[in-house]
Amino acid sequence: MQLPIYLDHNATTPCDPEVLEAMLPFFVEQFGNASSKHHPYGWLAEDAVEHAREQTALLIGAKPTEIYFTSGATEAINLGIRGIMLAKERPAGKNHIVTVATEHAAVLDTVKALEQEGFTATYLPVKKDGLVDLNEVAAALTEKTALLSVMTANNETGVVQPLQEIGELARKRGVLYMTDAVQAVGKIPIKVTDMPVDLLALSAHKFYGPKGIGALYVRKGKPTFALFPLLTGGGHERGLRSGTLNVPGIVGLGKACEVAGRLIDNETRRLSNLRDTLESAILKLPGTQVNGNLQRRLPHVTNISFDGVPAKEWLIALNQKIAVSSGSACSSITERASHVLRAMGISEERGQASVRFGLGRSTTEADIAIAVQHISSTLQKLQRNPV
């Protein structure tokens, strides 16, 4: 079977060969439980986990003791949001959460679930370019607000929010600030020491690590705060996340962080150039338009709408030669335009005919040339013969 050119790196990425090589010994030879304290098998596993914790911390400028391993970003996000709102230490009356309408479902669904449990929430709108209005952020933060959750970079448009300014607003109001950095970690430089961020979620498979492993950064220092654990039963991860540690996955996450840190500067330049080549060629075609801010965005992503084509047939035809999507893999079961594009004021029809292109380490100039040719010929065919 001839696989299409892969341009959906926001959905997932292939495991880097260096990452796989680092993981393999921990499936067979060094298979110990990291919590086994009485023999070398456990010691080797524990050492590997702590090394990976150091590698993960280094990539985002954190301390190793601020990194907690989870099963992925969804768990990390749930642990961050629910952990703050259910904490016994949360001041009485602080039962309000502020987030953004364009967040990933892992955030939105968690906040909605908490609303069912008696908490209140504000869902901030975004401007046409996908950015939040800082004045609206400031206005939404009240004396009852316990947590503000704004993603670093949008998974559909690549738009990067002004984290520094948002975090400063939260600090001034005594509100904890969490960010879903799943699409940003390993793609753009992130240093939590330079950002007023209290919690940050990441996932290995978004930057060439294995699936099923992620981490939550939890800031230490003043002002102090505590999280309520979602899982109990063993006291792993310093009591915050019980469960036998996924040692091979954790090793893979750590190695992925190391590789990303080494490649990030060169890949940022290379991918932004390829993205711009793809984008400029597509925008010469009739009825095309980029969705999202053109200055504040990830280097490897563009989201483009194509007017005058039937959405379902459009994606089917495109995916014969290039693997792309219309939005988040987690919400691809619906045929509606994505909630992200709708929140940006994009019509249902245009939103359904929008395509997210996510380039990656394997993407070449030849891939871009083939993609442009295929998009052009497919667009002409569908516009001539609409279904």
Strand-pair partners of 202 = 215
Q: What's phi and psi for 157, nearest 5 deg?
A: -105, -20
- Please say whether the beta carbons of 197 and 179 come within 8 A: yes
Element (H, E) at 288: strand 288-290
DSSP code of 325? B
Q: What angle do CA 373, 374, 379 make, to 5 degrees?
A: 105
Q: What's phi and psi for 92, nearest 5 deg?
A: -60, 135
In this structure, the chain runs to a length of: 387
- Please say whether the beta carbons of 196 and 169 come within 8 A: no
Q: What's phi and psi for 151, nearest 5 deg?
A: -70, 155
- DSSP string of 31-60, one letter each residue: ---TT--SSHHHHHHHHHHHHHHHHHHHHH
Active site residues: 330
- Please say whether the beta carbons of 250 and 69 come within 8 A: yes
Q: What is the 3-state secondary structure (H, E, C) of 266-280?
A: HHHHHHHHHHHHHHH
Cβ neighbourhood burial of 29 (10 Å; 0-12, 13-18, 19+): exposed
